[in-house]
Amino acid sequence: MIDLTFPDGAVRSYEQGVTGRTIAEGLSKSLAKKAAMIRLNGDLYDLDRPIEGHGTIEILLRDAPEMLEVIRHDAAHLLAQAVQELFPGTQVTIGPSIEDGFYYDFARAEPFSLDDLPKIEKKMKELVDRDEKIVREVWDRNEAIAHFESIGENYKAEIIRDLPGTETITVYRHGDNWKDLCRGPHFPSSKFVGKAFKLTKLAGAYWRGDQNNAQLQRIYGTAWASEEDLQAYLTRIEEAEKRDHRKIGRQMDLFHMQEEGRGMVFWHPKGWTLWQTLEAYIRRKLDKAGYVEVRTPQVLDSTFWQKSGHWDKYRANMFVCETVEGETLAVKPMSCPGHVQVFNVGLRSYRELPIRMGEFGSCHRYEPSGSLHGLMRVRAFTQDDGHIFCREDQVVSEVSDFVTLTQQVYADLGFEVDEIALSTRPAPDVRAGTDEQWDQSEAMLLDASRKAGVEPRIAPGDGAFYGPKLEFIVRDAIGRTWTCGTIQLDMVLPERLSAEYVAEDGSRRRPIMLHRAIFGSFERFIGITIENYAGKFPLWLAPLQVMVAPITSDTNDYAQQVAQKLRNAGIRVDTDLRNEKINYKIREHSLAKVPVIAVIGRKEAETGEVALRYLGQDGQSILSLDEAVRVLTTGAAPPDL
């Protein structure tokens, strides 16, 4: 007999090997009908899986929050079953649940077409209606390999072969004869999946995520506990797509890109104003944080990049050019080696450290064509780059100050960091430095983030070859994540470029170099900012802050006086003197997301006032011109001033 403790504290005894279903039946008929799964000692267990020992048990219904993942995982299996019924000969590989849904990777010679998705979806719903029993079976490893090979499922056989010998091989059977290798757990039958799912897209994916392997076809879907949740999700996606910075960038006339310059941005006047506003802001922040600003060359001889190590490691990503005189030059992909040159001029003393060197460095990288994405991933970009040269004993406080500064900046700009990741040492064959150096560097970054009140997620193996890094990851409107800020400890470059300082004891020492950026690239940061505000920028950031719109043409002169007065006060202002009705002007400038419309009618012209109408608000406030200037200049002050 075994003792099981229920959530209410009750303890009951059962025979060993009892299943969740039997237990549920013993409690109540209706519970048994609705039971979807159990949680045993914290782990999810199939309803019909025998329980072998004592423990705590909880019976879970389909609508439990933790079942959503199971719904998605089971939906992935139904997808695989449906595909194999419709397209015999297709091999299945893996199909996990993911955020908001699931996918399944298939190997099939013919490509799936978008038109196949509704057919597959229909078949999946049929499978739900069939209410196929889903049964867990434990198989012998070799038999399982033999079985999957015999039915031509070579990927599955490969997965089993690579599982550790200690792993229990479980196969889930749907209905009579469809089987899939899976760790589980799953619902007892297909009806639990429900029908609140939808296949969404088709894509390629490499087997085991390695581009040297075969390319598979991936079908993505979304799945939810209820039809309402599904609809809410679809609406959410639709809304998010409206914030896409590429779309808003066009609508608001901020920038454009064209095919002759893939991954390169043409900034229009309004977009450039936004840029300069952000640049002025971050420059003030860096000044206050003790940075000095420098400017280093755009193009340097290849011998320089050989010395820095970029020629070996990074050449494929560099723009390289030959001169008529036979030199080979390369456009800088990053500013760090240049900064070391500035550091290296003259003899540095330990007393000078830390030196915090900043540059709004324009860099070029030949990024893979498939990775380009609006402003988020470009080939020509400007970093708010900076390098801190310091002593070992200064690393923790420098990193910690940086984390704090970065959080301040993000808060000023109104967006949330999705997460902060500490990327640790990559594989031994690619990383530089000793294990002791890595131990110490990683520990310093962790220590520093904690000092700044941040607990990073550890991203094992994601560090650069030259050192570990902290990354500030934010999310775009459509849910994709992007790295903005970062601080990286470099144990290689000072050595390669012979950076040194004179220590207290007169000896020559290598400084530690910290690469850091808060925006990351201006391009990406502006992209994120556009999406974050959906183009409705706060007054201080808005490229055009006030539109002066007269109601009739006889107040045009006064409108221009108003505009001039605001302009003199530093407000970004324009006038709309077109022969259009005020309704029309208000509609147009509201859609253009101009924060303030100053409406000028005869009344205002007579009394020397203006009527301010704020974006998103219906009312207006009528102020004297002087008062309006005061209100607007105050409202337009950057958050740090």
Taking the complex as a whole, the smallest distance from the CB of residue 611 to RNA amounts, in Å, to: 4
Taking the complex as a whole, the smallest distance from the CB of residue 87 to RNA amounts, in Å, to: 14
Chain residues 585-604 in contact with RNA, contact rule CB under 7 A? 586-587, 590-591, 597, 599, 601-604
Measured from the CB atom, the residue of 18 and 596 that comes closer to RNA is: 596
Measured from the CB atom, the residue of 403 and 513 that comes closer to RNA is: 513
What secondary structure does DSSP assign to 113-166, as a single string?
A: -TTHHHHHHHHHHHHHHHT-BEEEEEE-HHHHHHHHHHTT-HHHHHHHHHS-TT
The distance in angstroms from the start CA to the end CA of the chain is: 72
For residue 160, the tally of other CB atoms under 10 A from its CB is: 21
- 185 preceded by a cis bond (ω within 30 of 0): yes
Chain residues 135-164 in contact with RNA, contact rule CB under 7 A? none
Of 113, 168, 177, 634, the residue at the interface with RNA (CB under 7 A) is 113
Q: In whole angstroms, how far apart are CA 479 and each of 70, 236, 468, 555?
A: 22, 11, 26, 47
Of 30, 177, 369, 634, the residue at the interface with RNA (CB under 7 A) is 369
Taking the complex as a whole, the smallest distance from the CB of residue 136 to RNA amounts, in Å, to: 29
The verdict on 616 binding RNA (CB under 7 A) reads yes
For residue 35, the tally of other CB atoms under 10 A from its CB is: 23
> Strand 609-614 and strand 596-600: pairing?
antiparallel
Backbone angles phi, psi at 198, to 5 degrees: -160, 135
Alpha-carbon distance 124 to 486, whole Å? Answer: 44
Of 307, 373, 450, 510, the residue at the interface with RNA (CB under 7 A) is 373
Per the annotation, the verdict on 313 as an active-site residue is: no
The verdict on 246 binding RNA (CB under 7 A) reads yes
Alpha-carbon distance 224 to 238, whole Å? Answer: 17
Among 46, 105, 385, 490, the active-site one is: 385
Q: 371 with 263: CB under 8 angstroms?
A: no
- Residue 581's closest CA among 541, 552, 554, 619? 552
Taking the complex as a whole, the smallest distance from the CB of residue 518 to RNA amounts, in Å, to: 16
Chain residues 180-219 in contact with RNA, contact rule CB under 7 A? 201-206, 209-211, 215, 217-218
Taking the complex as a whole, the smallest distance from the CB of residue 83 to RNA amounts, in Å, to: 15
Per the annotation, the verdict on 387 as an active-site residue is: yes
The verdict on 553 binding RNA (CB under 7 A) reads yes
The verdict on 459 binding RNA (CB under 7 A) reads no
Of 162, 176, 238, 259, the residue at the interface with RNA (CB under 7 A) is 259
Chain residues 305-344 in contact with RNA, contact rule CB under 7 A? 308-310, 313-314, 317, 334, 336
> Strand 178-181 and strand 169-174: pairing?
antiparallel
What is the per-residue binding string for RNA in 466-485, x denoting contact by CB under 7 A?
x-----------x-x--x--
CA 49-52-55 angle, to 5 degrees, is 100
Measured from the CB atom, the residue of 468 and 543 that comes closer to RNA is: 468
Q: In whole angstroms, how far apart are CA 569 and each of 280, 281, 340, 562, 573?
A: 18, 19, 42, 11, 10
Taking the complex as a whole, the smallest distance from the CB of residue 21 to RNA amounts, in Å, to: 37
Per the annotation, the verdict on 365 as an active-site residue is: yes
Measured from the CB atom, the residue of 243 and 283 that comes closer to RNA is: 243
Among 62, 364, 387, 431, the active-site one is: 387
Chain residues 29-88 in contact with RNA, contact rule CB under 7 A? none
The verdict on 303 binding RNA (CB under 7 A) reads no
The whole-angstrom distance between residue 220's C-alpha and the CA centroid of its chain comes to 19
Of 551, 562, 571, 632, the residue at the interface with RNA (CB under 7 A) is 551
The verdict on 257 binding RNA (CB under 7 A) reads yes
Measured from the CB atom, the residue of 62 and 613 that comes closer to RNA is: 613
Chain residues 486-545 in contact with RNA, contact rule CB under 7 A? 490, 492-493
Per the annotation, the verdict on 310 as an active-site residue is: no
Per the annotation, the verdict on 73 as an active-site residue is: no
Of 35, 267, 613, 628, the residue at the interface with RNA (CB under 7 A) is 613
The verdict on 262 binding RNA (CB under 7 A) reads yes
Of 581, 608, 626, 630, the residue at the interface with RNA (CB under 7 A) is 581
For residue 81, the tally of other CB atoms under 10 A from its CB is: 22
Q: In whole angstroms, how far apart are CA 91 and each of 80, 152, 171, 204, 214?
A: 9, 7, 16, 15, 13
Alpha-carbon distance 31 to 332, whole Å? Answer: 67
CA 524, 527, 531, 534 torsion-angle sign: positive
- Residue 546's closest CA among 484, 471, 629? 629
Taking the complex as a whole, the smallest distance from the CB of residue 634 to RNA amounts, in Å, to: 21
The whole-angstrom distance between residue 358's C-alpha and the CA centroid of its chain comes to 26
Of 620, 627, 633, 635, the residue at the interface with RNA (CB under 7 A) is 620
Measured from the CB atom, the residue of 33 and 581 that comes closer to RNA is: 581
The residue range among 121-129, 304-312, 355-363, 451-459 that interacts with RNA, by the rule CB under 7 A, is: 304-312
Per the annotation, the verdict on 268 as an active-site residue is: no
> Which residue is it, tokens 């207290």?
504
- Residue 344's closest CA among 296, 393, 401? 296
* Residues near RNA (CB under 7 A), total: 74
For residue 2, the tally of other CB atoms under 10 A from its CB is: 15
The verdict on 111 binding RNA (CB under 7 A) reads yes
Of 166, 168, 177, 579, the residue at the interface with RNA (CB under 7 A) is 579
The verdict on 370 binding RNA (CB under 7 A) reads yes
Among 72, 77, 147, 515, the active-site one is: 515
The verdict on 114 binding RNA (CB under 7 A) reads yes
The residue range among 124-132, 276-284, 295-303, 369-377 that interacts with RNA, by the rule CB under 7 A, is: 369-377
Structure tokens at 503: 């220590």
Alpha-carbon distance 622 to 613, whole Å? Answer: 9
Alpha-carbon distance 237 to 626, whole Å? Answer: 45
Catalytic center residues = 336, 365, 383, 385, 387, 469, 515
